[in-house]
Amino acid sequence: MQESLIPLLRDSVTPCRRSLTVGISSLMDDPISPQGPNRGLIVPRQQEIFSVLAHHITPAAPLLHAHATSRRSKKNKQNTNKARSMQVAITATVSAQHPHLKPSVSFLRPSPPHRVRIHPSSHRLCTRASAMAPSAPQQLTITRPDDWHLHLRDGQVLAAVLPHSEMHFQRAIVMPNLKPPVTTTARAVEYREEILRALPPGSSFTPLMTLYLTDTTSPEEIKIARKSGVVFAVKLYPAGATTNSQDGVTDILGKCLPVLEEMVRQEMPLLVHGEVTDPHVDTFDREKVFIERILAPLVQRLPQLKIVMEHITTMDAVNFVESCKEGNVAATVTPQHLLLNRNALFQGGLQPHNYCLPVLKRETHRQAIVSAVTSGSRQYFLGTDSAPHDKRMKECSCGCAGIYSAPVALSLYAKVFEQAGALDKLEAFTSFNGPDFYGLPRNNSKIVLRRSAWKVPATYTYGGGVIVPMSSGNTLEWLPSDQPEE
């Protein structure tokens, strides 16, 4: 595709042919791969090519102003006709060589300065001007959110981090990967009581408990969990996939099928850490391979099982979720996977506080997730995966995986949606889609986000040490407040 576009544009737009050739040729080291799960998306390399075309063509010739007025000269009209002919030729070339794509020809139309927008058929992968629009809102009032994926730990750490979550969130799905893990309803009830005792006086925060699925979990335990009224989901950790997952599942369909069938009957959701642990699979491909080997067969075997694919990190996950029936399969998305790519692990040296599992991925995957989340789809909802670790356990020879985001999560989600021009869709993502999927009522209370710069503390202290939060020491623009709107 790239080779055929270069001569075509060289003949059509002589003044910019050198920069075009350099720009497109620089993309040839990452060939277009239209196969497999990328169907329906413009492949990121092609998006970059279209951006290069728009960048070099738009300033190079007035012929791109297709809407010539009657006052324009005959020469300008001829140039306009030439632009249209070139546009048709490019589209024909793309379509002939890559019929699976549906690139919009709008990339040749004039766009606002420093902003190029590409519109695939079902996603909005685009870059937007960073400057704030003159009419940007100064305050947002939204229904109080819930956190559908939260690690609270226990003991001193629990007491230190719980206030950060209860300040901004009404409810939270609490992860069960303690030491030892929460594998029974009785233990889940005990853990819930521990959380409630640690809450500040007068707090209305509600922990929603989960069970840790193992090879030996029984269908009877699922019945007990449903009757308890405090357990709302079961968490699947493939053995060895992440923190405290050594007791996880080794063969989901071979050893856990009776439990999963009972979960269907009890309408109990399965929360999935979607990574394989096969040492022969590249770390950055673990999510994709999990979908192919485990998740897709599971959905096919038990189509009525409600599944949440937790903390998705790839466009493969986006495509899979959107290929499934709404209401049966959904996904949580973290602030780090919306804002950071894998470069954040290495910029300026190794950055242990940006290390989490699933690990950060390429920029193209980050863009796909942002596009999906800000599209308004009901299949995505807020799940911070806020995971506190002592600073010493992060900054060591074998550091823990996990990013502590609870104090900054709402501010960061607002940043993502504003950059995408989708603040009107923030409330559904934070406050509606989650409870709707779980069959729970939406919250009645509100929370206010004010455009007020605030600096994230470098650390938070607790009895045994310190915890470094996400965006440590940075200034954020949106400040959440539990105070009523002024």
Q: Active-site positions?
A: 149, 151, 235, 273, 311, 385
Q: What are the backbone angles phi and psi of residue 268, rounded to the nearest 5°?
A: -100, 120
Taking the C-alpha atoms of residue 169 and residue 143, their distance in angstroms, rounded to an integer, is 10
Contact between 425 and 121 under an 8 Å Cβ cutoff? The reply is no
Contact between 146 and 413 under an 8 Å Cβ cutoff? The reply is no
Kindly give the pairing relationship between strand 446-455 and strand 139-143: antiparallel
Instruction: Give the largest CA-CA distance in the chain.
Output: 83
Residue 173, strand partner residues: 208
For residue 3, how many other CB atoms are within 10 A of its CB? 10
Which DSSP string corresponds to 198-248?
HSPTT---EEEEEEE--TT--HHHHHHHHHHSSEEEEEE-BTTSSTT-TTS
Contact between 111 and 58 under an 8 Å Cβ cutoff? The reply is yes
Inter-CA distances, 473 with 167, 332, 456, 457, 469, Å: 20, 26, 5, 5, 9
| 52 exposure class (CB count in 10 Å sphere: 0-12, 13-18, 19+) | buried
What contacts 263, CB < 8 A, 6 or more positions away?
222, 234, 269, 270, 305
